Amino acid sequence: MKEKTLLELRDVTARYGDVQVLWGVSLAVREGEIATIVGANGAGKTTTLKTISSAVACASGQIIFDGEHIEKLPSHKVAARGIAHVPEGRRLFPMMTVRENLELGAISPAARRHHSDTIDEVFSLFPKLKERERQLAGTLSGGEQQMVAIGRGLMARPRLLMLDEPSLGLAPIIVREMFDIIRRLNRDGITVMLVEQNVQQSLKLADRAYVLENGRVVLEGAGRELLDDERVRAAYLGA
């Protein structure tokens, strides 16, 4: 049942230096669901994820994960609580092998204890990575690099997996495969928070969706409901 709130943001603000990017963002993600954030470039989608993972400081407001306030925790402690952030652009180490990049994801003591089992699960999910485990990550295709990035996130054995633009720059057939993988991960029990340029596909996939404009939540609802919303269709789907 998707009833328990796993993550909640209450009036969160964030800034880069003197420039404020988030203005009182409030949202909630229930355990077991897929939530998506959509909006134009510069709306604050990536900053929202970075603030949750503490890559950007929360200037004010509250971030609550599984009942615990995490807005003041450093990034490594946020990750240890069970939040994995797969950033836009993959951020792999190109001169390290696939396996070495994956192993970096097992950051917490609990993740390290299950390291062998988890890497087997990642290779089961992404058989291509097993074939290329000794290959340098920088020599992989874009789709394969995205698989490594997601796999590295999974090595943390997260309860919440945050994905920032996982389909960016990928061929259409790989994009479909990526969305299928997200569905499978969710069916396996991982709560997913998704920022995605493919608005139509992300809203079809999502249980819950939020629309950001200029650092503020302006619409929220079920993914399918927002897909049919005239304002969303006009602004993001060209309809």
Residue 218 lies inside a defined structural domain of this protein: yes
Q: In this predicted structure, what is the pLDDT of residue 75?
A: 94
Which among 15, 29, 19, 26 has a CA at the least distance from the CA of 58? 15
Residue 172 lies inside a defined structural domain of this protein: no
* Long-range Cβ contacts of 123-127 (<8 Å, 24+ apart): 125/151, 125/154, 125/181, 125/184, 125/185, 126/150, 126/151
| Amino acid type, 62 | Q
CATH number at residue 22: 3.40.50.300
Name the 3-class secondary structure at 227: helix
Instruction: Write out pLDDT tens, residues 65-116.
Output: 999 999 999 999 999 999 999 988 778 989 999 999 899 888 777 778 888 8
Would the pTM of this model clear 0.75, i.e. be above it? yes
CA distance 1 to 28: 16
Domain count along the chain: 1
Exposure of 168 in the CB half-sphere (CA atoms within 13 A):
15
- Residue linked to tokens 């240890």: 80
Find residue 211's DSSP bridge partners: 38, 219
At residue 52 the predicted structure's pLDDT band, cuts being 50, 70 and 90, is very high
| Amino acid type, 66 | D
CA distance 180 to 211: 23
Q: Is residue 129 a contact partner of residue 151, using CB atoms and an 8 Å limit?
A: yes
Residue 97 lies inside a defined structural domain of this protein: no
Q: In this predicted structure, what is the pLDDT of residue 238?
A: 61
Which among 69, 86, 109 has a CA at the least distance from the CA of 185? 86
Residue 15 lies inside a defined structural domain of this protein: yes
Residue 140 lies inside a defined structural domain of this protein: no
Residue 3 lies inside a defined structural domain of this protein: yes
Instruction: Write out pLDDT tens, residues 106-154.
Output: 877 777 888 888 898 999 999 999 999 999 999 999 889 999 999 999 9
Written as six digits, the tokens of 238 are 């060209």
Kind plus residue range of the DSSP H or E element containing 11: strand 5-16
Written as six digits, the tokens of 147 are 């698989």
Helix, strand, coil percentages (3-state) for the chain, rounded to 5, are 40, 25, 35
Name the 3-class secondary structure at 35: strand
Residue 217 lies inside a defined structural domain of this protein: yes
Residue 183 lies inside a defined structural domain of this protein: no
Domain that holds residue 35: 1-82+159-167+191-239
